[in-house]
């Protein structure tokens, strides 16, 4: 993995290059966003080959429907992560996945844990420890369920056995904490 080859552009440059169908835009898009998108996808689709398929489908869909994105609607990543999350959820709800998952459940869980570990102990993520302190566990669990696992806040309330109002408050408080942390 040679990082020097990776291309990085500002979001404005990237969006303009994508609109102009410049070749460099495609590579920059992948290099800038594939790890973040793959982080979301692989937490929902824990089988690696399937998760890789979803990542590919995600970029194909981003590319084909890019004309429907406009900067007025918000940040590019917000738009893209929604596409990735929806495709990942579609995948685990598909018949194929359900059949396959019966056989591979245990294996997948091991992979999932490994991935989590490798993420948690990434040496370049020095800030993670601080982030864990900034974000309370009860806020993190809700944000992770909705953002990474694709739950609706209603489903998260059911899952955690917490009233809907409390869920909404914790979500907002958690995100406020993240904003504070990243600023």
Partner 1 sequence: MKVEDIQAYIKSGILELYVLGDVTPGEQRQVEKMASKYPEIKAELDSIARSMELYAKENEIEPSENLRGRVLGSLLTNFGDDRNFTAAPHHEEIETEEDEEEDNTDQEDNIADLPARKEDNFYKYAFAASFTLLIASTIALVSIYGKLQDSNNQLVAMQQDKQHFASRVNLMNKALTVFRDTSYKLIHLKGTTKTPSSLVTVAFSSGQKKVVIDMANMKMPENDKEHQYQLWALVGGKPVNLGVFDAARDTVTDIKEMRPIAFADAFAVTLEPRGGSVNPTMDQMMVLGKY
**159 contacts partner 1 (rule: CB under 8 A):** no
Instruction: Decide whether 42 or 47 has the Cβ nearer to partner 1.
Output: 42
User: What is the token pair recorded at 13?
Assistant: 């440059």
- Give the distance from CA 53 to its chain's centroid: 15
CB of 97 to partner 1, least distance (A): 19
**128 contacts partner 1 (rule: CB under 8 A):** yes
The residue behind tokens 């969006």 is: 15
> Any alpha helices (H) in 20-94, and if so which ranges?
23-44, 48-64, 76-93
Single out the residue of 7, 17, 26, 162 in contact with partner 1 (rule: CB under 8 A): 26
Interacting residues with partner 1 between 104 and 123 (CB under 8 A): 115, 118-119
The Cα 36–Cα 64 span in angstroms is 20
Single out the residue of 10, 35, 109, 138 in contact with partner 1 (rule: CB under 8 A): 35
Q: List, as own/partner pairs, every contact residues 5-10 make where C-beta atoms lie below 8 angstroms and the sequence separation is at least 24, other chains included.
A: 6/31, 6/32, 7/31, 7/32, 8/32
Instruction: Decide whether 60 or 110 has the Cβ nearer to partner 1.
Output: 60
The residue behind tokens 């990434």 is: 122
CA angle 112, 117, 123 (to 5 degrees): 140
x-or-dash string of contact with partner 1, 56-95, rule CB under 8 A: x--xx--xx--x----xxxx-xx--xx--xx---------
**23 contacts partner 1 (rule: CB under 8 A):** yes
CA dihedral sign, ordered 7, 13, 14, 16: negative
Binding residues for partner 1, rule: CB under 8 A, are 1, 19-21, 23, 26-27, 30-31, 34-40, 42-43, 52, 55-56, 59-60, 63-64, 67, 72-75, 77-78, 81-82, 85-86, 115, 118-119, 125, 127-128, 131, 143, 146-148, 150, 152-153, 168-169, 171-172, 175, 178-179, 181-182
């Amino acid at each position: 993995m040679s990082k020097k080859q990776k291309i990085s552009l500002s979001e404005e440059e990237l969006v303009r290059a994508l609109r102009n169908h410049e070749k460099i835009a495609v590579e920059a898009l992948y290099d800038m966003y594939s790890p973040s998108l793959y982080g979301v996808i692989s937490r929902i689709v824990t089988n690696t080959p399937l998760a890789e398929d979803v990542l590919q489908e995600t970029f194909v869909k981003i590319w084909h429907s890019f004309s429907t994105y406009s900067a007025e609607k918000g940040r590019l990543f917000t738009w893209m992560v929604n596409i990735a999350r929806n495709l990942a959820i579609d995948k685990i709800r598909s018949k194929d996945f359900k059949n396959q998952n019966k056989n591979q459940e245990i294996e997948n869980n091991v992979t999932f844990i490994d991935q989590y570990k490798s993420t948690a102990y990434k040496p370049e993520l020095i800030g993670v420890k601080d982030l864990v302190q900034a974000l309370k566990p009860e806020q993190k669990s809700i944000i992770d369920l909705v953002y990474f696992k694709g739950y609706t806040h209603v489903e998260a309330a059911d899952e955690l056995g917490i009233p809907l109002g409390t869920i909404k408050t914790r979500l907002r408080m958690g995100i406020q904490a993240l904003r504070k942390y990243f600023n």
